Chain A
């Protein structure tokens, strides 16, 4: 399957028009599904900045997702701040958390990096549950009304589409900037990268903070979408979901996380409507993906494209 840059643009425009037109064509159920995919995809992309481009294993991003969500929910419900201000501020609160954790992990690698992020996110989870005066504890926060303009399935969908689109654009610019290429270099060989006078620790730290910011946006969006938040958003299984989404779609590609999010969300919805045993099905699928499709869905397609190009060159 060969794709020239021109055809990529055509596909992109078609997809965009489709996304905008969809609310007027398909039933509400699918729009809600798409909104969830967008949010999960954004969270996945934030993780993939570190996982695919940075070569690290961030296993605690649920903390930032939950931080963004709880910041939004708590501020909306308990203060009289203007909703727009709340939505803007929430990701920064997640980013503050990321700035702290970034210090802790900057010099750790692989498994130890992963465990530090996990331990930290579990701490956040514990704090959320044990400070009910702020967070409502185990009950979570529900019935969060954002603003009148953001009620109704279609409005929420368009809002998420715009925000996620903006974030994707920003991430695209980041990933293709010198900073992004330095990250890739660090992924390939961090020691050699120091030889070419790139401050590895600083790059990893900045990438982490940026990643936590976008993950916080995803959390905030989820509150807009579902009008509530729960402590389990910070549990390590949520972080595992985010990593899974990246790998499913292809962690070495830019669009992988969105594809992975789509696959996971659609599978989840389809499977739960047929059988109760959704975890069994998804477990088998995950195992199959790891064993047969280690590059994820897009990775597989890209490999075919490269192979196609190689054959033509012969």
Chain B
């Protein structure tokens, strides 16, 4: 089986790029799950909403501002969802939370269908980021480099906030023991709202980062939510670092898998999740939540 090194390396880079998007999506989810212990299956549909929103936002304001506006818009939607719906089910069984998320999924998917119709939409890659770098006959898209650098920056910022600021330690305290955190005088409900908004905003960031590379199509949320939860499981609930590593691994394995077993490439994610749950259910760095 002849596979050139350059093909492998090319796929490796693609895998890293893909992993970065997965990380952005999963980071929000792992925060929400780790801090509030709720299973938010609707995270994928928020992502989808974000991708569709890009079309309007990019058309009106351009691609650059989109990176601020789409996450912001999604954070607002997250705030509404948290305040109106998710807030009431923090203490409920995971089954109920799943059910509520499913309801939200149905609602938002249909709204997307209402507004944007059923045909797939594609976003034009911004002119500045079109094209390739060529290193030793490995082709790396400029956009890939952009996404990777941006995500690494965001990850660094997240680490800094979580581990070097007061609000970060408050958030981490909620992950470990919400009741004691309330006893320490922290308004945990406000923290939850903030975390939910940040989480959903990150999904928006993932959306605009991914938008030029994919086509927006109904049902994309179903696929992405499984990936996102897979990353959360493998990396560990509540762990940003774990999500980063897990997302990278999954992205790379998927892309390399295309070289080896193109037909079953999508199965690699599920196999990774199954193996991870067998060997280490709590994930790389997570506590065993729930």
Contacts and interface: CB of A to CB of B under 8 A. Distances in A.
Interface of A: 51, 57, 59, 104, 108-112, 114-116, 118-120, 122-123, 126-127, 130, 235-237, 240, 243-244, 247, 251, 277-280, 282-287, 289-291, 294
B15 to A, nearest CB: 19
A147 to B, nearest CB: 35
A282 B79 CA distance: 23
Given A244-B102, A286-B102, A290-B99, A110 B233 contact: no
B237 to A, nearest CB: 8
Contacts, number: 123
Contacts of B180: none
B280 to A, nearest CB: 10
Contacts of A126: 264, 266-267, 270
A276 to B, nearest CB: 9
B39 interface: yes
B175 to A, nearest CB: 15
B241 to A, nearest CB: 20
Contact of A287 (B95, B100, B289): B100
B110 A283 contact: yes
Contact of A243 (B92, B95, B104, B264): B95
Given A120-B274, A283-B104, 17 more contacts: A104-B277, A110-B94, A111-B289, A112-B288, A115-B230, A115-B273, A119-B270, A119-B274, A122-B226, A123-B270, A126-B266, A126-B270, A279-B106, A279-B109, A280-B110, A283-B106, A294-B96
Nearest to A56: B95
Nearest to B85: A287
Interface residues of B, number: 44
Nearest to A122: B270
Interface string B106-131: 11111101100000000000000000
Given A279-B109, A280-B111, A286-B103, A108 B263 contact: no
B271 interface: yes
Given A115-B229, A130-B264, A237-B222, A279 B107 contact: yes
A290 B88 CA distance: 10
Contacts of A123: 267, 270-271, 274
A263 to B, nearest CB: 14
B31 to A, nearest CB: 15
Given A283-B105, A287-B107, A291-B88, A112 B100 contact: no
Contacts of B288: 112
A240 B106 contact: no
Given A119-B270, A240-B102, A277-B114, A247 B107 contact: no
Given A247-B99, A251-B95, A279-B109, A115 B277 contact: yes
A284 B110 CA distance: 11
Given A283-B104, A287-B107, A112 B233 contact: yes
B281 interface: yes
B98 interface: yes
A144 B107 CA distance: 35
Contacts of A109: 290
B171 to A, nearest CB: 20
A290 B110 CA distance: 20
Contacts of A112: 233, 277, 281, 288, 290
